[in-house]
């Protein structure tokens, strides 16, 4: 690990980066497409995803996987968008399996048929994580703006039939968190082995909808109590994970386990990031796997060295005796909420910006927050938002969600496979 920022200094002066102490990546997240039939209100894809118009080809993905594996990556997440929209998914999985990855498919289930799950099994897929939006058809379909609840239920049955561990994921927020007991009962009926109840993190589309999605403290406490009681009941049968939200915490999470430390994300068009929303950070040119090797990107690129170690930290964090616990938290959250990515994540109660979280909670409790229209994740809205940003029509905080100068691709030029 570059403890003192020497890698950045070496790059600035044109010298080679000393690779000693930089860990190889272990997790490669391949966002193979940003096409998606769903329109989730909390979607973690960048709000300006519709600027992307040219997905990596099958051969390009295979090269990325090969280079990632050669560096030591062992876990592969195939995500999107909806990865099942790629016709070559089976081919990508087969190659990843041959290379020795443990291959996870992260899916909404839309596009999964018996023929496809059979083909994916034969190709060597190890693991499927299926997302639900709620336990009720009405709320599930509202939150994704599609009629998909029954289809997802059928996919859950297929996952069991093909002998995969059933991993069910549900993002929690104000509109569904009171159903947590029912969500767990649904998971039990589906014979889930693992359930991840991930409280919405407020990035991307969830940040645009924060006023409408931020749960109250009371909702959160109740949901955690119900989950704890259920955990006791299903002990030994089902594993439950309850991911706490940042807005009621006093210390930030060790985001991505450190910048450029474990995770590497490749976007649909080949842009390579240390985390899936980092493209919003200003002043960083993120490299593309089409132009550069994964090895150079991980070890030598200015982007991946920018926030490694603690050389970049401001005095508050650099001199803090807790810095090893959280490495100053999330750079994107620091930028979104304070305008400066080198600040401490304002989730930390030592941060002078910590009050912003309480202000956001207060804002979400106002009556007008309940009637504000929700923004659904669609190509049309992504383009519209980019236009609004260019026109200066967004708030400063919302402007920060976009990559500098992102321009929507023309309506018909989002090329898939």
Q: Catalog residues that contact ligand SF4 under the rule CB under 6 A.
A: 36, 38-40, 43, 45, 80-82, 108, 251-252, 316-317, 320, 322-323, 326, 328-329, 344-345, 348, 350, 377
Q: How far apart are CA 188 and CA 170, in angstroms?
A: 14
Taking the least distance from each CB to ligand SF4, the nearer of 226 and 348 is 348
Question: What's the closest the beta carbon of residue 262 comes to ligand SF4, in angstroms?
Answer: 18
Q: Which is nearer to ligand SF4, 206 or 281 (by Cβ)? A: 206
Contact 350, 320 (CB under 8 A): yes
What is the C-alpha to C-alpha distance for residues 217 and 197, in angstroms, rounded to an integer?
16
Contact indicator for 49, 407 with CB cutoff of 8 Å = no
Residue pair 235/241 in contact (Cβ under 8 Å)? The answer is: no
Angle between helix axes 89-99 and 114-123 (nearest 10 degrees) is 20
Helices 137-144/149-161 angle, 10° precision: 100
| Least gap, CB of 391 to ligand SF4 (angstroms) | 25
Quote the least distance from Cβ 325 to ligand SF4, whole Å. Answer: 7
- Say if residues 39 and 87 touch (Cβ distance below 8 Å): no
Please tell me whether residue 130 adopts helix, strand or coil conformation.
strand
Report the distance separating Cα 283 and Cα 280, nearest Å. Answer: 10
Q: Would strands 263-266 and 272-273 be described as parallel, antiparallel, or unpaired?
A: antiparallel
Pairing of the two strands 75-79 and 27-31 = parallel
Nearer CB in complex with ligand SF4: 167/317: 317
Q: Which is nearer to ligand SF4, 34 or 263 (CB)?
A: 34
Nearest distance in Å: CB 317, ligand SF4: 3
SS3 of residue 179 by DSSP: helix
User: Whole-number minimum distance, CB 304 to ligand SF4, in Å?
Assistant: 21
**Minimum CB separation from ligand SF4 for residue 218, in Å?**
26
Least distance to ligand SF4, CB of residue 50, Å: 13
Peptide bond into 81 cis (omega under 30): yes
Q: Considering beta carbons, is residue 43 or 73 the nearer one to ligand SF4?
A: 43
How far apart are CB 326 and ligand SF4 at their closest, in Å?
4
Nearer to ligand SF4, 1 or 26 (CB): 1
d(C-alpha 168, C-alpha 159), whole Å: 11
Beta-bridged to residue 129, according to DSSP, are: 106, 167
The single-letter DSSP state of residue 17 is: P
Nearer to ligand SF4, 82 or 403 (CB): 82
Place of tokens 């003192």: 4
Residue 109 or 274 with smaller CB distance to ligand SF4: 109
């Amino acid at each position: 690990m570059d403890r003192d920022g020497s890698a950045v200094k070496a790059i600035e002066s044109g010298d080679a980066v000393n690779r000693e102490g930089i860990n190889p990546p272990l997790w490669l997240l391949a966002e193979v497409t940003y096409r998606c039939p769903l329109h989730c209100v909390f979607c973690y894809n960048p709000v300006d995803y519709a600027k992307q118009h040219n997905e990596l080809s099958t051969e390009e993905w295979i090269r990325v996987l090969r280079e990632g594996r050669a560096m030591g990556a062992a876990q592969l997440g195939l995500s999107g968008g909806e990865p099942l929209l790629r016709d070559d998914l089976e081919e990508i999985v087969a190659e990843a399996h041959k290379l020795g990855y443990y291959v996870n498919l992260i899916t909404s289930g839309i596009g999964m048929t018996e023929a496809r799950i059979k083909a994916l099994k034969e190709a060597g897929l190890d693991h499927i994580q299926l997302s639900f939006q709620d336990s009720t058809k009405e709320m599930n379909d509202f939150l994704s703006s599609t009629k998909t609840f029954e289809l997802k239920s059928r996919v859950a049955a297929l996952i069991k039939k093909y002998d995969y561990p059933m991993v069910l994921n549900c993002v929690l927020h104000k509109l569904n968190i009171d159903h947590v007991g029912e969500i767990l009962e649904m998971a039990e009926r589906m014979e889930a082995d693992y359930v991840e109840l991930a409280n919405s993190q407020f990035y991307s589309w969830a940040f645009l909808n924060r006023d409408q999605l931020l749960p109250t403290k009371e909702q959160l406490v109740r949901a955690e109590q119900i989950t704890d009681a259920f955990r006791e009941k299903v002990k030994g049968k089902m594993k439950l994970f309850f991911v706490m939200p940042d807005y009621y915490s006093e210390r930030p999470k060790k985001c991505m386990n450190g910048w450029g430390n474990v995770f590497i994300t490749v976007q649909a068009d080949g842009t390579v990031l240390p985390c899936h929303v980092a493209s919003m950070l200003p002043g960083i040119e993120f490299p593309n796997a089409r132009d550069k090797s994964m090895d150079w990107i991980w070890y030598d690129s200015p982007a991946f060295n920018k926030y490694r170690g603690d050389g970049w930290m401001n005095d508050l964090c650099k001199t803090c005796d807790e810095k090893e616990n959280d490495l100053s938290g999330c750079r994107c959250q620091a930028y979104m909420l304070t305008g400066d990515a080198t600040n401490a994540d304002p989730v930390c109660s030592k941060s002078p910006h910590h009050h912003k979280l309480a202000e956001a909670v207060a804002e979400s409790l106002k009556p007008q927050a309940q009637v504000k229209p929700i923004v659904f994740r669609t190509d049309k809205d992504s383009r519209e938002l980019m236009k609004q940003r260019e026109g200066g029509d967004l708030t400063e905080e919302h402007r920060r969600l976009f990559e500098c100068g992102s321009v929507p691709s023309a309506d018909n030029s989002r090329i898939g496979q």
